[in-house]
Amino acid sequence: MKYLYKALGLKKNDTVVVTGAGGKTSFCLELCEELKSNNRIIFTTTTKIFFPEVRKNYKIYVGNDFLHKTLTENGAYITGKEENGQGKLLPFSLDEIDSFKERADYLVIEGDGSRMRPLKGWKETEPVFVDRTDRTVGVITIKSLGLKVNDENIHRIELFRKISGAEEGEEVTKQHLFNVIIAENGLFKGAKGEKILLINQADSEKEFQDALDLAGLLVRENLLPDKIIISSLKEKKYYLLIL
């Protein structure tokens, strides 16, 4: 498919919470890019995220003033309660974020952080969802295959090891990624609404085949989310698998 929002099956007034690692912010910005011309789309966070590098003509609001702003124009509105001294955007309260749904056509939220690493484990307090979440998108990068299991590549390595079964120093395998996807404390921990797996960064033929193989593990074990999409955000190519 040419458009990400079509592959996701988004509808007006949807709230999407994005979790995982390996392209979450890029995913959110691509949705903003696709939808901003004809819609009001708000991109925010329920946790701390690095302030996104945005494209031209984005509307950025940091602070409580946004809570009282009427959104009369179409566009992408990126907002958070404040920016801390480390370049991170801090969240509004969950009730405040939930209220954004009344003022926008789409609400896109990053529900956890990964410190720019391609893989992660989840602590007890994350991901963070608003009550009115319609779809949870779990992002996992196929480029993580073959990476060493170490602190450089993995945020919260000990928690990752528990859910993946990986040992420190070995290479990441498809089985490890499969375990992360299906684990109770893994990629879809606490998920609300429709569960969509995004196998991201399949930019080459081999990576696309690896992504298909990973999806095949889920099919064989009958442990499927509601949708699986293989994506190359770089090439703007999105493949919705028929399950």
- pTM recorded for the entire structure: 0.96
Q: Which secondary structure element, helix H or strand E, spans residue 119, and what is its range?
A: strand 119-120
Q: How many domains does the chain have?
A: 1
pLDDT of residue 56: 66
Asked whether residue 6 carries a pLDDT value surpassing 90, the answer given is: yes
**Which residue range(s) make up the domain with 216?**
4-240
* 159 SS3 class: helix
Write the CA distances from 90 to 30, 82, 113, 139, 173, integer angstroms. 21, 5, 11, 21, 34
Plot region of 63 (φ>0 → left; ψ -120 to 50 → alpha; else → beta): left
Q: Are 144 and 187 in contact (CB under 8 A)?
A: no
Q: What CATH number should be reported for the domain holding residue 116?
A: 3.40.50
Q: For residue range 81-131, list pLDDT tens digits in order.
A: 998 878 888 999 999 999 999 999 999 999 998 989 999 999 999 999 999
Q: Are 87 and 80 in contact (CB under 8 A)?
A: no
Taking residues 226-233, what's their average pLDDT? 98
Q: Which of 72, 76, 74, 113 is nearest to 91 (CA)?
A: 113
Taking residues 2-18, what's their average pLDDT? 97
Looking at the chain, list the stretches that DSSP marks H as alpha helix, in order from N- to C-terminal side: 4-8, 24-35, 94-99, 157-164, 174-182, 205-220
Write the CA distances from 23 to 66, 72, 78, 169, integer angstroms. 26, 30, 17, 24
Taking residues 4-12, what's their average pLDDT? 97
d(CA 231, CA 172): 20
pLDDT of residue 55: 61
Q: Which secondary structure element, helix H or strand E, spans residue 168, and what is its range?
A: none
Residue bearing tokens 């498809």: 174
At 239, is the pLDDT very low, low, confident or very high (cuts 50, 70, 90)? very high
Q: For residue range 127-151, list pLDDT tens digits in order.
A: 999 999 999 999 999 999 999 999 9
Q: For residue range 28-83, list pLDDT tens digits in order.
A: 999 999 999 999 999 999 998 887 876 667 899 999 999 999 999 999 999 999 98
Q: Beta-carbon neighbour count of residue 193 at 10 Å?
A: 16
Q: What is the Cα 102 distance to its own chain's centre?
A: 22
**What is the strand order of the sheet 82-83 is part of?**
49-50, 88-90, 82-83
pLDDT of residue 243: 80
Asked whether residue 8 carries a pLDDT value surpassing 70, the answer given is: yes
pLDDT of residue 51: 79
For the chain, give the mean pLDDT.
95
At 156, is the pLDDT very low, low, confident or very high (cuts 50, 70, 90)? very high
